[in-house]
Amino acid sequence: MAQHQIKFGTSGLRGPAEGFTPELTAAYVEAFLDTAAAGARARQLAIGMDRRASSPAIAAAVAAAARGAGWEPLFCGALPTPALAGFAMARAIPAIMVTGSHIPADQNGLKFYRPDGELRKSDEQPILDAVAGRPSATPAGFALPEPDPAARLAYRQRLLSAFAPGALEGLRLGVYAHSAVGWRDMEELLSALGASCTVLEPSADFIAVDTEAVDPAALARLRALGREHGFDAIVSTDGDGDRPLLLDAEGVQVNGDVLGALAALALGADSVVTPLTSTSAIEASGWFAHLARTRIGSPFVIEAMETAPGTAIVGFEANGGFLVQTTLDNGGRPISPLPTRDALLPLITVLAEARREGVAVRALADRLPPRAMLADRLPQVAPDRGHGLVAELARSDAARRALDPHLAHPAAIDTTDGTRMVRADGVIVHVRQSGNAPELRCYVEAPSPEAARAVLEAMMARLAARLGG
């Protein structure tokens, strides 16, 4: 039953970990290599994984399937997704990352990379068709070898070379480790650039950290630790290292879209691509010559970056994952393209900018016009129920009124991805079913954090009552 819940979401294949049987995994791997790996410079497949308990067995199944299909598996070990992606793209070979990203520990997934970068939405149906027409077979077993460190080392070097020595000199940083696959890389990089780092709460058990909806109890603990140690900031990522988390000196989160905008400005971007869920303060800032909005998901951001005008083109998502389309010039230090989500580049960029200017991280964030974006999620919402509610909100005044009387007759409705409603007072409420997990997401944007929190709490209570009824 679980294997039938394995589906493509906004970014990759996701589902219950138990559904990734050797047979099903082999079918998807072979279908991917047959349909989306054209142009590979060599018949090699780079393989990485996060720290979920289920990931090693799935990675071994991926490697076995690759070898059975006549490809050489290159096991890169447990490492951040952008490290694997950069390694594979530099060699023009395909890659598969075994990760469920930020979703619960009992879930997992496969993120596919073509030789030229992330899998596109147009690649998904050919893979599904090939899987459906493939006879079931059990691949031969494969014992994972010691990982090749080349991908991790190249990722580290790309970031180190992008910043001057001592770029973070004097900063006191907390590194919230949890079970993030790249927390050691993060601590080593920040230390190499001059920061004094304290590792916080490393865990051998997988902890699902969603940078757009961080557990309030975890935030409270981190704030207390920040006060105790006098940190200038606390940094972290999600499970596979492609979504950043930044708390300022007061323990207040700098939202991912704000982090992305600050990083883009500091890196001299003239063209920015970001999804609908990123703050409207980006337009109001006037910082960028070109700004494009997309659906949620890195494949949509990447497609728009490829046709964006400008010479310094970047993208970022509301979760903070930062993508680089063109070579950037960071004060005479080139940053090579990496058109997939990365957590460390925006974190280091904003911390370095704050240190260079001699100001707190919050002072940088406050340069954007005052708009606050908050998000939360209802777990265990079946896709059909979630999509049904989202569609009803788009078409029914009564359904919107039940959610919020101010939404009965909104100033605008956008159904590009979910239902995004703008109240007459400018408050934005955006409801969508997640493409990665069985959960309903709600995003609220308001003039202040307090107003956003009040609206979000009301929305979540009413959505929960509606879906529980």
- Residues with a catalytic annotation lie at 101
**Side chain identity, residue 400:** R
Ranges assigned E (strand) in 9-154: 13-16, 44-49, 72-78, 95-98, 107-114, 117-118
Distance CA 164, CA 198 (A): 22
Q: Tell me the helices (H) and strands (E) count for the chain, helix number first.
A: 15, 23
Do 33 and 45 form a contact (C-beta atoms < 8 A)?
yes
Q: Looking at beta carbons, which pairs linking 118-125 to residues 24 or more positions away fall under 8 Å?
A: 118/11, 118/85, 118/298, 118/299, 118/302, 118/339, 118/340, 119/12, 119/32, 119/36, 119/299, 120/299, 120/302, 120/303, 121/297, 121/299, 121/300, 123/35, 123/36, 124/8
Distance CA 17, CA 54 (A): 6
Instruction: For residue 89, give every residue at least 6 positions away whose Cβ sits within 8 Å of its Cβ, in sequence order, or none.
Output: 113, 115, 116, 117, 338
Q: What is the DSSP letter of 52?
A: -
How far, in Å, CA of 245 to CA of 13, rounded? 24
CA distance 61 to 174: 36
